[in-house]
Amino acid sequence: MFSVYDESLGMSDDEVARKAELENRILVTNDKDFRPEQMNGA
């Protein structure tokens, strides 16, 4: 488990999404305005 809040506060949404993808992780967020450019969908 990786917590942006605990380990990398200040990462951009794109950086968070990129890290999750590169590390083959499932991304879970409570950030209501989380909008990385590279992710498609709803």
For 11-22, the DSSP string reads --HHHHHHHHHH
Global pTM reads 0.76
**pLDDT recorded at residue 41:** 55
**pLDDT recorded at residue 6:** 93
Contacts of 23 (CB under 8 A, 6+ apart): 2
**Domain boundaries defined on the chain:** 1-28
End-to-end CA distance of the chain: 25
Q: pLDDT 10s per residue in the chain (42 long)?
A: 999 999 999 999 999 999 999 999 999 999 999 988 866 554
